[in-house]
Chain A
Amino acid sequence: MENKVSELMDGELNDQSVSNVLGALKKDHELQEKWQAYHLIGDAIRQSSCLSVNISSSVSQKLKNEPIIFSPKVSTKPPISYDRKQKYKVFAFAIAASVIAMISGGIFMNHLYEPKQMMVVDQSKQERNFNAAPIMVSNPSVKHHYVHPPVEINDYLFVHREFSPGITVRGHVTNVNSMPEIHERYGR
């Protein structure tokens, strides 16, 4: 085993052997002396001063009063705490929800304002000739589907106007007729 200690201090052992030798060093006092002597020999060959320095036993004695260290497995990356992980999760969900909302909104708006050519037909001509070709007047960037509602709808809107939000806005209420006007218009 002494030769393994020699190889260990030269960094020439594989992982498994290192583990075995370190385990043996922990138990075998003779091997510990070898470890000490081999390092001293190395320092002496390198002509180091302070060869007489030997504080290992006094440090060991002082460390007896120190609490034993139990630290988690060392990682080169800083560990992420549980709270931080939770924050990351919430943040990720928020991002995902925002993206989904934006995409949904985009699809909805795209569908709503689907580009269609606005055709305006000269009604007077149409009444006269049903086969008359429509005339394209413009191709605006924002297209509107605007169709005049049938008269029945006006009745419906009138009856339910109290539920319309527009009625609360003073000065901007449109299409609101007084009762006499309605009676006059519809003969009711």
Chain B
Amino acid sequence: MGDREVDQQLVERVQGGDKHAFDLLVIKYQRKLARLLSQYIRDPAEVEDVVQEAFIKAYRAMPSFRGESAFYTWLYRIGINTAKNFLVSQGRKLPTLQGFDNEDAEDFEDNALLKEVNTPESELMSQQIAQTVNQTLDSLPDELRTAIVLREIDGLSYEEIANIMNCPIGTVRSRIFRAREAISEQLRPLLGTSKDKRW
């Protein structure tokens, strides 16, 4: 079952009355959507508000989602429309960026026009997270680092990674999981995700 199918499973659970499944979709796509919308809305607080509103709208519109497109593509359109409405309500001019109405939301992620729009606080937090992840990644054994990079950056399947690394798929599963666990452990104090504290 691929990534899109997992999303579809989550969507079907939401459509079946499981609100918690929608939380998992929010966790998964919140940063991606925020990054996209920050192209049109400069104020980070406003970006968060619009992203939040976009997710609420997506939840309300969930019964009409029929899985004809990927969930993220559908969410992307809702996000863009929410951003447009927000800018119109503020009496602001809509940016004329290439890709604003681009249906291929996945490609838009790599748009070179994207810029950092964090506030000093959020910028600091982002830097700390990125620094921790990168430092931990560098300290990982080669096989763990290679496995997780091939997965997260190149988007390869476990089978493809196994072929490249010349090892069984089970080993790839284990390496990626161990890499994530190692990084997650380092992030725990930063995120406050200890057993007695929530992020």
A→B interface (CB under 8 Å): 2-3, 6-15, 18-19, 22, 25-26, 30, 32-60, 62-64, 66, 68-71, 73-76
Complex interface: chain B residues within 8 A of A52 (CB): 118, 121-123, 125-126, 129
Contact with A11, one of B3, B13, B199 (Cβ below 8 angstroms) = B3
Answer whether residue B163 sits at the interface, using C-beta atoms and an 8 A cutoff.
no
CB pair B56–A62 under 8 Å, yes or no, is yes
User: Nearest-CB distance from A51 to chain B (Å)?
Assistant: 4
B→A interface (CB under 8 Å): 1-6, 9-24, 26-28, 30-32, 34-35, 38, 47-48, 51-52, 55-56, 59-60, 62-63, 65-68, 114, 116-118, 121-123, 125-126, 129-130, 133-134, 137, 148-149, 151-153, 157-158, 173-174, 176-177, 180-181, 183-184, 187-188, 191, 193, 195, 198-199
Instruction: Using known A-B contacts A14-B1, A45-B149, A51-B125, determine if residue A34 contacts B10 with beta carbons closer than 8 Å.
Output: no
Complex interface: chain A residues within 8 A of B174 (CB): 3
From DSSP, what is the main secondary structure of chain A's interface residues?
A: helix
| A43 to chain B: closest residue by CB | B31
Instruction: Using known A-B contacts A2-B181, A7-B173, A18-B6, determine if residue A33 contacts B193 with beta carbons closer than 8 Å.
Output: yes
Instruction: Using known A-B contacts A45-B152, A59-B56, determine if residue A12 contacts B15 with beta carbons closer than 8 Å.
Output: no
CB pair A51–B56 under 8 Å, yes or no, is no
CB pair B66–A69 under 8 Å, yes or no, is no
